[in-house]
Structure 1
Amino acid sequence: MSSRRIALATCSSLPALDDDDVPLVPAFAQRDVVAEPVVWDDPAVDWAGYDLVLIRSTWDYTDRPREFLDWVRRVEKSTRLVNPASAVEWNVDKSYQRTLESAGLPIVPTIWLDPERNFDSRQIHTRFPAFGDFVIKPTISAGSRDTGRYSAGETSSRALAITHAKSLLQAGRHVMLQRYLRQVDTVGETAIVFIDGVFSHAVRKAPLLSGPFRAPTTTSVLYKEEVMSARDASPAEREVAERVVAALPELVPGVDGPLVYARVDLIPDDAGNPVVLELELTEPSFFFALAPGSIDRLVDAVVARL
């Protein structure tokens, strides 16, 4: 019997893992490694009893980011964590995009609203674009939660946007205001997955945002359902994503080489050039079913760290 054990960290809503990750268990078993789904905030878990903890579907952390980061640091003190705590801490708040932009990497143009500024309705309104659609979302979020799309040319839509932004700010959350890049409606997003710093595969995400933010009718909603399909990343998309991944050791504290995994989500700007919408280093979906061989690539990368 194998003496090597790893925990696949998940959340209480998905105690047996997300469907996409379930094949990881037999894939690790084929390499003589016991992989067990474990709920990240279960107080009874002895994390030191595992040789490695692989963060997977911990998608409720956005409701308790401080608790999650405390857990990340605690786990790393007792065993190996993938990805490492420093990368997770840097990545859970989307303000990391400021660092990408400062490094010359293309992001969606963003206006940042700080709750400490105590913005009133007029101050929020003046930051909206004069035309076109725009998006409001908190800097700590996942799966398009707490995110809405609004029309600058409609008074009622702008009023809803002000209400949305104010509610986030009053809750102490930092807010991103981004112009909606319309080519995403036809092209969609391209999610590019890297394993051990090397391109693995790409998938297409159909557009998700169709209107203003609406509070979910149930508290169990972790993310909006995504419509996914396989996609060949264009040379321009590959080039941007590879630049982002190559820059990580210089941008992320404590990272001195390739991370086990990274996912770069890109959308086209108005000229069709790819820009970074998200950089996922914490708990991204990999859409294994759309990319033959991708499970083996990830599992081999993890086993190499044991």
Structure 2
Amino acid sequence: MSGKRIALVTCLQLPEPDPDELWLATAVQNRGVAAEVCAWDDPAVPWHQMDAAVLRSTWNYPDCHSDFIRWATKVNGLTRLYNPLETVIWNSNKRYLLELFEWGFPVVPTTVVGKTQPVDGFTGWPQAEEWVVKPAISAGSRGTKRFHHTQRNETIRHIQLLQTRGDVLVQPYLKSVEERGEHAVVVIDNEVSHAVRKTARFEGDDEHVSQAVVPTAQETALAMAVLEKIGRKLPYARVDMAPDDQGNPLIMELELIEPSLFLKQCPKALERLADTLVGL
């Protein structure tokens, strides 16, 4: 071992297993660098002794968002944090979708209902047969539900429930997700490596993903254009997309904090990410 230590950051109580963890830790260690799986919410971790802290499965952060951002800010002063702190803060609230739209990127139509905004008389309903309602700060589809447009009262009650914790997103449900699936496009060290096809996932559902697939030229171009606009070279990123009615990709989510990267499905991506982390 070289003496270099990289923390692969998780949480004390994982909501679900991280399929990337063992593969990535082993690949890094095979390169002579210590890969230590450390929980962000474990006060005993000596972050100052780490050469880098790489966020991987911090999937409980939506339940304690302020604490997580305070931790990330502190650790950013003790070691090198990846992805960078400013990226983490910006990407931790799905309001970033509105900013992507303002920048001219194709994004699933999104209305944000503020935490204190009255829902009675709400006029931002999507022009769609079905709607998706989700927290603006969330992970793993927690709090994400699908409603038929005739279920307006049920939808309002769910929005009000989510408002007790923060802002809420209201979006149309894209039928293309059922027909073609959502594509999660993985980018490693500024290069698209692969994608997987995901089924629609709502609160309480398990995630079902395909083997690695080759992203389309449109998907690749869109993913790289978004990351170029952000203007920061990132070790890893994931851009989730689904086609619109004309078959053109729409951005569903931009995952820059702790995305699953489906490394088991693409050994080349695993090797590239391990090389990138060792070189940080």
TM range (shorter): over 0.9
Task: State the SS of the aligned residue for 1:177.
Answer: strand
TM-score for both structures, normalised by structure 2: 0.95
Counterpart for residue 208 of structure 2: 227
Counterpart for residue 237 of structure 1: 219
Question: Structure 1's 14 and 162: CA in aligned 2 closer, same or farther, altered over 3 A?
Answer: closer
Deviation readout 1:269-291 (Å, 9 max, x if unpaired) = 12211010000110000011111
1:148 to 126, 145, 148: 145
Counterpart for residue 94 of structure 2: 94
Please tell me the root mean square deviation across aligned C-alpha atoms, in Å: 1.8
> Contact 1:134 / 1:178 at 8 angstroms: preserved in 2?
yes
Q: Which amino acid aligns with 1:190?
A: H
Kindly state the Cα deviation for residue 236 of structure 1 after the two structures are TM-superposed.
1.6
Deviation readout 1:99-128 (Å, 9 max, x if unpaired) = 1111101100111111233x143x23x332
Task: State the SS of the aligned residue for 2:137.
Answer: coil
Is 2:175 the counterpart of 1:182?
Answer: yes
Q: Which amino acid aligns with 1:279?
A: L
Kindly state the Cα deviation for residue 15 of structure 1 after the two structures are TM-superposed.
11
Counterpart for residue 168 of structure 1: 162
Deviation readout 1:62-117 (Å, 9 max, x if unpaired) = 10111001111111100011111111011010011111111101100111111233
Task: State the SS of the aligned residue for 1:134.
Answer: strand
> Contact 1:16 / 1:37 at 8 angstroms: preserved in 2?
no
> Contact 2:199 / 2:207 at 8 angstroms: preserved in 1?
yes
Q: Which amino acid aligns with 1:108?
A: V
| Distance in structure 2 (CA, Å) of the matches to 1:72 and 1:10 | 13
Which stretch of the first structure deviates more once superposed, 237-246 or 60-69? Answer: 237-246
Is 2:38 the counterpart of 1:38?
Answer: yes
List aligned pairs for 1:119-268, cutoff 5 A. Answer: 119-121=118-120, 123-124=121-122, 126-129=123-126, 131-152=128-149, 154=150, 157-169=151-163, 171-209=164-202, 224-229=205-210, 230-249=212-231, 255=232, 258-268=233-243
Matched residue pairs, number?
279
Which stretch of the first structure deviates more once superposed, 42-51 or 130-139? Answer: 130-139
| Distance in structure 2 (CA, Å) of the matches to 1:107 and 1:182 | 15
| Distance in structure 1 (CA, Å) of the matches to 2:96 and 2:130 | 24
> Contact 1:53 / 1:82 at 8 angstroms: preserved in 2?
yes
| Distance in structure 1 (CA, Å) of the matches to 2:228 and 2:260 | 21
Structure 1: unaligned runs, 5 residues or longer = 217-223, 250-254
Runs of 4+ in 1 over 3 A off after TM superposition: 14-17
| Distance in structure 1 (CA, Å) of the matches to 2:109 and 2:127 | 15
TM-score for both structures, normalised by structure 1: 0.87
Deviation readout 1:162-219 (Å, 9 max, x if unpaired) = 10011112x141011101111111111101111111111111101224xxx6xx6xxx
| Distance in structure 2 (CA, Å) of the matches to 1:25 and 1:38 | 11
Deviation readout 1:245-290 (Å, 9 max, x if unpaired) = 12111xxxxx3xx111110000111221101000011000001111
| Distance in structure 2 (CA, Å) of the matches to 1:102 and 1:54 | 30
Kindly state the Cα deviation for residue 19 of structure 1 after the two structures are TM-superposed.
2.9
Counterpart for residue 70 of structure 1: 70
Question: Structure 1's 236 and 298: CA in aligned 2 closer, same or farther, altered over 3 A?
Answer: same
Q: Which amino acid aligns with 1:160?
A: E
Structure 2: unaligned runs, 5 residues or longer = none
Aligned residues: percent identity?
A: 42
Which stretch of the first structure deviates more once superposed, 12-21 or 127-136? Answer: 12-21
Task: State the SS of the aligned residue for 1:289.
Answer: helix
Q: Which amino acid aligns with 1:233?
A: P
Question: Structure 1's 16 and 285: CA in aligned 2 closer, same or farther, altered over 3 A?
Answer: closer
Counterpart for residue 221 of structure 1: none
Kindly state the Cα deviation for residue 21 of structure 1 after the two structures are TM-superposed.
1.6
> Contact 1:15 / 1:39 at 8 angstroms: preserved in 2?
no
> Contact 2:130 / 2:146 at 8 angstroms: preserved in 1?
yes
